[in-house]
Structure 1
Amino acid sequence: MNDLELELKQMVIDVLDLEDMTPEDIDSSEPLFVEGLGLDSIDALELGLALQKQYGIKLDSDSEETRKHFASIQALARLVASHQAA
């Protein structure tokens, strides 16, 4: 697990108050929504705000592209890494 994925996992836990979870409990490749972690649209909004605040990333909540970025921790890590490289 790389540092960025670990950081994102901790952000998910903190932002969504997942008290009984640790970063090690989250599989980087598992889906974040529906199956996998089972997050919902409210969780997506909260995560989107956290990404904007922490990394300066603005996402269009209705776009298919945004849905792809929120597919997994790995996808979010790619998004953040590409944003930091730009």
Structure 2
Amino acid sequence: MSHDTTPHFHNQPGVAKIKVGSKEFMCIGALPPFDHPHVFIDMGAADEAVCPYCSTHYVFDAALGHGAADPAECVYHSETVLDPTA
């Protein structure tokens, strides 16, 4: 079973652009409870994308690795842990 997940990024610090190591990810805008609807973004062949809700500019950087971001604080880690046996 694969444990890969879709990375989630936010722009709580309000930076002009976020470099990400994934071309497919979710933008949540700001940190909860001020997040916007979580938007799936797929860059496809492009190397950048803009979130349609918050206008955060994302730029792909393969050197960062899957799920990483620059600035690193823009990676969102959910505090909710789901019980797979539930």
Quick check: which has more Rg, 1 or 2?
Answer: 2
Q: Greater helix percent: which structure?
A: 1
Q: Greater strand percent: which structure?
A: 2
TM range (shorter): under 0.3
Question: What is the TM-score when the length of structure 1 is the normalising length?
Answer: 0.26
